[in-house]
């Protein structure tokens, strides 16, 4: 069975700039800008110029949706010169995404 069929929630294409911040192992604040490419009511997939460690907590900011909140990096893999990361959003961020983006037919294009 393909991996995408194992997902709990269907992802929809969504293109938007995303800002990611976290604290590295030495306690230094880190920041990177990337691109959100898919969004669901529980997670998202984003493209980044640098790899992030899996299983760290980050703060996401999607300016076009006026959303920000905590999330967890679930996996990261290299794709060409970029990295893709699968992210699980916190319940607070899930609720905000649902309120702003979901209709009975699925996601609205923001």
Which of the pair, 21 or 25, is modelled with greater confidence? 21
- Of the listed ranges 2-6, 19-23, 79-83, 94-98, the least confidently predicted one is 2-6
pTM above 0.85, yes or no: no
Task: Identify any residues that bridge with 61 across adjacent strands, giving them in sequence order.
Answer: 19, 68
pLDDT digits (tens, 9 = 90+) for 54-66: 899 999 999 888 8
The predicted model gives 28-47 an average pLDDT of 92
User: For residues 27 and 70, what is the distance between their CA atoms, to the nearest angstrom?
Assistant: 17
Asked whether 45 and 89 are in contact (CB, 8 A), the reply is no
The predicted model gives 27-45 an average pLDDT of 91
Q: Which residue has the tokens 């800002």?
A: 19
- Domains of the chain, each with CATH number or no CATH: 3-107 (2.40.10.220)
């Amino acid at each position: 069975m393909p991996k995408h069929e194992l997902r709990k929630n269907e992802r929809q294409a969504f293109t938007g700039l995303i800002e990611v911040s976290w604290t590295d192992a030495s306690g230094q604040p880190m920041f990177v800008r990337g691109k959100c490419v898919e969004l669901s009511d529980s997670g998202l997939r984003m493209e980044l110029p640098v790899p992030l460690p899996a299983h760290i907590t980050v703060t996401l900011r999607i300016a076009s949706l006026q959303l920000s909140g905590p999330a967890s990096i679930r996996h990261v893999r290299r794709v060409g010169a970029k990295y893709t990361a699968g992210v699980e959003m916190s319940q607070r961020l899930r609720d905000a995404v649902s309120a702003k983006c979901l209709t009975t037919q699925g996601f609205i294009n923001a």
